[in-house]
Amino acid sequence: MTRPLAIISGAGVAGLAAAWWLDRAGWRTLIIERAEHLRGNGYMLGLSGLGYETACRMGIHDALAAEAYEINENVYLDSRGREILRLRYRDFLKDLSYLAVRRTTLVKALQDVLPASATLRFSRQIAGFADHGASVTVTLDTGEELACDLLIGADGARSALRRQLFGPDGICLQPLGYYFAVYDLEAPKEFDTDFVSYAEPGHLAEYYSLNDGRLAAMHVWRDAAPGLEQQTDKAGLLATVCAQSHPKVRHLTDQLRVSGARPVIDSLTMIDLPRWSNGRVLLLGDAAHCLTLVSGQGAGMALASAEMLAEALMGSASVEAALARHEARLRPVITRLQARSRKMAAVFIPQSRFAFHLRNVIMRNMPRSWLGRYFTSALRSEIELARVSG
């Protein structure tokens, strides 16, 4: 008997995880990726709770652990280089199952365990589709037509398939009032510690020393203006954001421009849809319910959602029933995590100088044991919010 076929748009975390789990459910998969290869850029992410447990069930824990970062200490400095505080992660993460890895590492680990039933096709896009009830016809940008039993949009927060399925994004995009930028630099030995943050009102710049000697940078700043991610001179935009920052931050931003590297810049925007599927077409991961990096659970929930989809397909009489079951099980979790992200966004990076300095005074004078308990409690709360009932 021929296995049913799912076509997946997007070879990111959600798409690759879906291919692995659908194989367990007896499906074949064809992954369509518009890039020429798996994307090598990516920020640091944490896997904990449900996402960590799913990674273990997929057998990729050891591969991730081998490339994981043990961030012992994060030093926070202000724009004048004065120390605000030191967070000793090793103290308040020691009792938690937690992995800090680059998104690139997670994607590579998922690619390495792709089953024989999964096929990857690069440099292709889905131009359109037609849901016939009993099957779906997918048209690629080359004009080629493919028949499948399920179409999955796992093409990220800017999902093209989502717009084809539900029309213009409109109110489903919920900007949190921030932008972020990520990039890597050939800048070894810039810092004495592996994790340094420069904080100022409305802007946070963070630098991680990578295992290969390079430096990974991430900026998050407040700006409600729409469309900044569409600017062509992204290094110039970042230079403007950092114009009043610490000299080290400005120096590294200058290095970015000289290197010719192109930072990834986008808004922190949640996706909130009334439903994630229609007929035999499903949105998965960020395409359905982007949580943003404020949550810290986006990658983990993409892994877990793929597992839940496979379980629903195995336990349902039809594809449509399975998609409804998948959403009913997952949506309460996403609703809780998105509500938390909205609350955190309001205080994530203080905008005014008064609020910024007030927070710094409180954190400087808080006993370290209290500070550790605060961050541990916040992470445990995040993990519990991501738990799935049933």
Tell whether the model's pLDDT for residue 324 goes beyond 80: yes
Whether the model pTM is above 0.75: yes
pLDDT in the model for residue 116: 98
3-state secondary structure (DSSP) of residue 181: strand
Residues 188-213: what's their mean pLDDT? Answer: 88
Sheet strands (E) in the chain: 5-9, 28-32, 44-48, 74-77, 83-87, 98-102, 118-121, 126-131, 136-140, 145-148, 150-153, 173-185, 195-200, 203-209, 215-222, 264-271, 277-278, 281-283
Degrees (nearest 5) of the Cα angle 146, 148, 151? 105
Quote the CATH superfamily of domain 5-70+102-171+272-345: FAD/NAD(P)-binding domain (3.50.50.60)
Whether residue 272 contacts residue 338, with contact meaning beta carbons closer than 8 Å, is answered with yes
pLDDT in the model for residue 39: 77
What is the DSSP annotation of 241-292?
A: HTTTS-HHHHHHHHHHHHHT---EEEEEEEE--S-SEETTEEE-THHHH---
Query: CA nearest 249: which of 74, 44, 69, 80?
Result: 80
| Type of residue numbered 17 | A
pLDDT in the model for residue 378: 64
Range of weakest confidence among 45-49, 145-149, 192-196, 346-350 = 346-350
| Type of residue numbered 201 | P
Q: pLDDT-based confidence at 381, cuts 50/70/90?
A: low
pLDDT in tens, 242-284: 999 999 999 999 999 999 888 999 999 999 999 999 999 999 9
Query: CA nearest 298: which of 6, 42, 89, 7?
Result: 42
pLDDT in tens, 326-377: 999 999 999 988 988 888 887 788 888 888 888 777 777 666 665 666 566 6
Rg of the chain on CA atoms, in Å: 21
| Type of residue numbered 46 | G
pLDDT in tens, 31-54: 999 999 987 667 888 898 899 999
pLDDT in the model for residue 349: 86
